[in-house]
């Protein structure tokens, strides 16, 4: 299933960059790499890659800036950040900028490959979800990653749409954070940083779809049970 996917590795440390490239090629991916932020950004913006592995600490343009610039051009481009272990703030900042996922260094190859497969699988599956989601004040177009609300046009990231689509499919009940992590992110584990990942995305979505994000009416919290999307019809 990995055949033909093209991955860009943006990493300044030569040993990691070359090691990663070798491993990914071994697993059947086509790999290109960049050793600096500028080169990485240039290649990333070419739009030729199914997935980008993005180191945060890079000379010149850092990983955050690259993530930001890619998202400004292409909200669907799958991006996995490479972060230092324990650097939760880095993870949160990257996710807020629109990265799909992260892997903490030093990572196991098996873990990395599983994350890559999960992100690629979701980016392929994204086309199959319901075309529109109707909320009391918002109309969401899942295919175009867009919406129209009281205050005009809304732009979503792919991950935000995945969360909304899953909640919409299960709108008859609250969905626990652990279930969102398992179904949308593909995480079997349940670490604190990962449940916070869900909360970060819910907060971002609320800022977009709620007239009063602090008093949500579309995407509500059911205490002790999870999040529930109140769809119309
Ligand atoms: Ca680095």
What is the domain partition of the chain in residue ranges?
6-125, 132-229
CATH topology of domain 132-229: Arc Repressor Mutant, subunit A (1.10.10)
Angle at 64 between CA 63 and CA 69, to 5 degrees: 95
Q: How far is the CA of 155 from the centre of ligand 1 (A)?
A: 31
Contacts of 101 (CB under 8 A, 6+ apart): 80, 81, 115, 118, 119, 185
CB-based neighbours (< 5 A) of ligand 1, an ion:
12, 55, 57
The pair phi, psi for residue 218, each rounded to 5°, is -95, -45
Q: How far is the CA of 75 from the centre of ligand 1 (A)?
A: 24
CA–CA separation, 89 vs 98, rounded Å? Answer: 14
Tens of pLDDT, residues 28-73: 999 999 999 999 999 999 888 999 999 999 998 999 999 999 998 8
> CATH 3.40.50.2300: does it fit domain 6-125?
yes
**Helix 192-209 and helix 158-169: axis angle, to 10°?**
90
pLDDT at residue 116, rounded to an integer: 93
Q: How far is the CA of 202 from the centre of ligand 1 (A)?
A: 30
Q: How far is the CA of 228 from the centre of ligand 1 (A)?
A: 39
Q: How far is the CA of 86 from the centre of ligand 1 (A)?
A: 15
The span from the first CA to the last CA of the chain, in angstroms, equals: 38
């Amino acid at each position: 299933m990995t055949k033909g996917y093209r991955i860009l590795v943006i990493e300044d440390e030569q040993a990691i960059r070359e090691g990663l490239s070798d491993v990914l090629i071994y697993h059947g991916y086509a790999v290109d790499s960049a050793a600096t932020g500028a080169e990485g950004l240039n290649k990333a913006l070419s739009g030729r890659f199914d997935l980008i592995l993005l180191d945060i600490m890079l000379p010149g343009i850092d990983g955050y800036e690259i993530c930001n610039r890619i998202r400004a051009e292409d909200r669907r481009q799958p991006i996995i950040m490479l972060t230092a272990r324990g650097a939760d703030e880095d993870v949160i900042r990257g996710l807020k900028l629109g990265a799909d996922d992260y892997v903490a260094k030093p990572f196991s190859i098996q873990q990395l490959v599983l994350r890559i497969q999960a992100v690629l699988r979701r980016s392929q599956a994204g086309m199959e979800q319901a075309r529109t989601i109707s909320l009391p004040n918002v109309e969401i177009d899942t295919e175009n990653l867009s919406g129209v609300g009281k205050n005009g046009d809304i732009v979503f990231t792919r991950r935000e749409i995945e969360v909304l689509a899953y909640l919409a499919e299960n709108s008859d009940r609250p969905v626990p954070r652990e279930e969102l992590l398992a179904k949308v992110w593909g995480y079997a584990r349940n670490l604190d940083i990962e449940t916070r990942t869900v909360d970060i995305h819910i907060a971002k979505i609320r800022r977009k779809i709620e007239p009063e994000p602090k008093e949500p009416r579309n995407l509500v919290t059911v205490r002790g049970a999870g999040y529930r999307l109140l769809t119309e019809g």
